[in-house]
Amino acid sequence: MQSTVNPKSSSRVLIGVGGGIAAYKVCEVVSRLFKSGVEVRVILTRSAQEFITPLTLATLSRHPAYTDDSFWQPIHSRPLHIELGEWADLIVIAPLTANTLGKLAYGMADNLLTNTVLASTCPVLLAPAMNTDMWEQVAVQRNWQLLLTDRRYHGMSTASGLLACDRIGAGRMAEPPTIVNHIQSLLHTHGNRDLAGKTVLISAGGTREFFDPVRFIGNPSTGKMGLALAQAAMHRGAKVILVHGPASWEVPLGVEPIPVVSADQMQQAMLDALPKADVIVMSAAVADVKPRDYSSEKLPKRSLPENLPLAPVTDIVAELGKRKQPHQLLIGFAAQTGDIITPAKEKLQRKKLDIIVANPIDQPDSGFGSDQNQAVFLDKQGQQIEIPPCSKLAMAHYLFDLTVPILEGIKII
């Protein structure tokens, strides 16, 4: 059976800005969302206006920004907080201050932002930002944990770094690209944590097979697809273990990283983590061969062999297929040119995969290094789903959309 995924229609995001220096970062969040086709509305608290103006955010969102003055003006046909609460598909509060956190934790509402949150039913994404000592206060952490017991609320981890108070420590707000990725995830899932309680093991990036300290056989994989898979799984509530080759990106907070270099190292890491996993996604571009010999010193150019002797690399996916248990799902990737379906079907069967993702790497904006991707998903029941060009994060979610029902159908005896 063959089908095609239809991209979701435009979404509506309401951003609440708290009073903190990190408010300046919200400008980039709003700009990125608007450019991606998301409708954006913004509420500023009174203290937020000490750091950033309503005019700035109105210009970036192409819509007037709301303040507490808007709340109390009788110019709306219905109460403004009711209209905004019903309008939003998602509410984002960034930066979330200790003051607003305390109000939300105890259901208090004394301004437009907090009234709108209580008058809504959509998911709420929280991006806290404050001084390290403030963030680590027992009362603040108690409020944070209390608020997160409500499944509407999705909390982002604070980063550590140099704060505006010159303190180095926790409390730094997540960066705009990270916030936007989480927003995109929640718009796709509607806040559903359908991988909660599951462990997802992912491999990402290319491997490097060295024949001396500075030269290696490799491939152009950047690991962006594996990174997107890790983000999507984490946003859906999973515990994520990411085994990755050399990469230029940082592993997201909340993901367990296992850095490796060679195919042998990746195989060992994947096999060690396999017993913990419910879902295994092998998205890494692993070498097929490696140099037969290794020199511990750099070889002079004149000493390089005209024909480099090669040895095969162990097939990690096939080995995982042999060892996986009935309650585990194994997903592989097949980067192909030309006919992508025939070799993918063969690989699906031969390597005992549950699902395979066939990527046409000879198409524009797909494959290695691109922020976009397109693919055909095939499963062992014969289902075939075409994914048109989309972001790699969206593709990761489409893959988990297919995976979750299969997981739910597995009965552990």
Class of domain 199-409: alpha beta
Mean pLDDT for 121-132 is 96
Residue 392 annotated as binding site: no
CB 291 within 8 A of CB 274: no
Residue type, 138: V
Instruction: Share the mean pLDDT of the chain.
Output: 92
Catalytic residue from among 27, 122, 165, 390: 165
Q: What is the pLDDT of residue 1?
A: 57
Are the beta carbons of 31 and 181 closer than 8 angstroms?
no
Residue 6: what pLDDT?
66
20 Cβ partners below 8 Å, 6+ apart?
Answer: 48, 51, 95, 97, 129, 130, 173
Give the C-alpha distances (Å, rounded to integers) separating 36 from 6, 136, 231, 390, 395.
17, 35, 19, 12, 16
Q: Among 122-136, 149-163, 398-412, which stretch is predicted with the lowest mean pLDDT?
A: 398-412
Q: CA triplet 279, 281, 283: central angle to 5 degrees? A: 175
347 annotated as a binding-site residue: yes
- Which distant-in-sequence residues (6+ apart) come within 8 Å of 6 by Cβ? none
pLDDT of 4 higher than 60: yes
Which pLDDT band holds residue 412 (cuts at 50, 70, 90)? Answer: very low
Average pLDDT over residues 228-245: 98
**Residue 381 pLDDT > 90, yes or no?**
no
- 165 catalytic residue (yes or no): yes
Q: Are 334 and 357 in contact (CB under 8 A)?
A: yes
Residues with Cβ within 8 Å of residue 320, at least 6 apart in sequence: 270, 271, 274, 280, 282, 330
* Rounded mean pLDDT, 277-294: 94
Q: Phi, psi (5° rounding) for residue 389?
A: -50, 130
The burial of 104, by beta-carbon neighbours within 10 Å (0-12 exposed, 13-18 middle, 19 or more buried), is given as buried
Q: Which of 257, 262, 372 is nearest to 316 (CA)?
A: 262
Contact yes or no for 30/57 (Cβ under 8 A) = yes
pLDDT of 166 strictly over 80: no
Of 3 and 264, the structure prediction assigns the larger pLDDT to 264
Give the tens place of pLDDT for each residue, 183-230. Answer: 999 999 999 999 999 999 999 999 999 998 999 999 889 999 999 999
* Residue 413 pLDDT: 35
- Please state the domain extents for the chain: 2-189, 199-409
Query: Which helix (DSSP H) or strand (DSSP E) does residue 50 occupy?
Result: none
> Is 333 annotated for ligand binding?
yes
> For the residues 115-131, what does the mean pLDDT come to?
97
Q: Report pLDDT for 316.
A: 95
d(CA 30, CA 263): 41
Report CA dihedral (75, 79, 82, 83) to the nearest 10 degrees: -20
Positive or negative CA dihedral for 87, 50, 172, 223? positive
pLDDT above 70: residue 9: no
More confident residue, 7 or 70: 70
Average pLDDT over residues 146-167: 87
DSSP-derived letter for residue 174 is: P
> Cα separation of 134 and 129, whole Å?
10
Residue in this structure with the two tokens 């992912």, named with its chain if needed: 202
Q: What is the mean pLDDT of residues 20-36?
A: 96
Span 55-78, average pLDDT: 88
| Domains 2-189 and 199-409 agree in fold | yes
CATH of 2-189, picked from 3.40.1010.10, 3.40.1390.10, 3.40.50.2300, 3.40.50.1950, is 3.40.50.1950
- Read off the pLDDT of residues 307-362 as tens digits, 9 standing for 90 and up: 889 999 989 999 999 999 999 999 999 888 888 899 999 999 999 999 999 998 88
